């Protein structure tokens, strides 16, 4: 059975109402990364960091998977399918996808600020000052901040290298090491790029571009791959 790997970014959740980072009105337009998404920010102002993720978590909870997430789930009926996502929302999970690797963490989980191995599925929408882990340390979002290790990278690279089909959806490919996955596909792998800006993106000539939104492009490609 062919192995299909789908590599997603914020763009796949845009039509579920969640902001992207670098597009028009993106998250990083209104908020400085250095204030909320680095270990230094956490050291400087924990409450500000917690509030930023509490607000995003509530938006994720209120959002729903869209036709793109659901079409990726459908791939599982035909192929050995894996999702590698940069997104911290749980929309792939809620669409029913089974094999998901989160490269940048999961907003609906909390982790110990003392030992990153202590991770907890959250039952509530907020993490607040004074919420502690079993070691007694302040809980933080289970999110990979800029400058932190990407724990699942090796697994993602191995998977990418085994893919017969590699589908990139909704990522500006500007954040490394995640973006480097595109260079890790094996010879002969069919690579597709689905993004409204696909034509302007600086990717290899052999990549088949679908210059359209995720909810149009992903179902279209899935239909083509499964007919």
The one catalytic residue in 69, 92, 104, 142 is 104
- Residue 104 known to be catalytic: yes
Helices (H) and strands (E) counted in the chain, each on its own, are 9, 9
Contact 222, 75 (CB under 8 A): yes
Distance CA 6, CA 85 (A): 8
CB atoms within 10 A of CB 15: 17
Q: How far is the CB of 9 from ligand APR (least distance, A)?
A: 3
Contact range with ligand APR by CB under 6 A, out of 9-17, 41-49, 56-64, 93-101: 9-17
Using CB under 6 A as the binding rule, whether residue 51 contacts ligand APR is answered as no
Q: How far is the CB of 78 from ligand APR (least distance, A)?
A: 22
- Per CB under 6 A, contacts with ligand APR among 82-101 are 86
Which of 170, 175, 172, 184 lies closest to 216 in space, CA to CA?
170
Contact 139, 119 (CB under 8 A): no
Pick from 70, 195, 210, 221 the residue near ligand APR by CB under 6 A.
195
3-state secondary structure of 111: strand
List the catalytic residues: 104
Give residues in contact with ligand APR (CB under 6 A): 9-11, 14-15, 20-23, 26, 86, 104, 170-172, 174-175, 195-197, 213-214
């Amino acid at each position: 059975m062919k192995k299909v790997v789908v590599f997603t970014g914020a763009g796949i959740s845009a039509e579920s109402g969640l902001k992207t980072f670098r597009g028009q009105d993106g998250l990083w337009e209104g908020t400085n990364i250095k204030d909320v998404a680095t270990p230094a920010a956490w050291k400087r102002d924990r409450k500000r960091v917690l509030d930023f993720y509490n607000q995003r978590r509530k938006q994720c909870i209120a959002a729903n998977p869209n036709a793109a997430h659901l079409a990726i789930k459908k791939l599982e009926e035909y192929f050995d399918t894996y999702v590698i996502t940069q997104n911290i929302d749980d929309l792939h999970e809620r669409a029913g996808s089974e094999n998901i690797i989160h490269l940048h963490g999961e907003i609906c989980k909390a982790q110990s600020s003392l030992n990153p191995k202590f991770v907890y599925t959250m039952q509530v929408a907020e993490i607040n000052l004074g919420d502690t882990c079993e070691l007694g340390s302040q809980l933080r979002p289970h999110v990979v901040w800029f400058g932190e290790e990407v724990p699942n990278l090796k697994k993602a690279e191995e998977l990418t290298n085994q893919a017969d089909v590699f589908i990139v959806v909704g990522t500006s490919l500007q954040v490394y090491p995640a973006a480097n996955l595109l260079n890790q596909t094996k010879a002969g792998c069919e690579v597709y790029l689905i993004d409204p800006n696909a034509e302007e993106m600086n990717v290899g000539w052999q990549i088949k571009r679908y210059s359209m939104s995720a909810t149009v492009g992903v179902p279209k490609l899935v239909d083509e791959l499964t007919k």
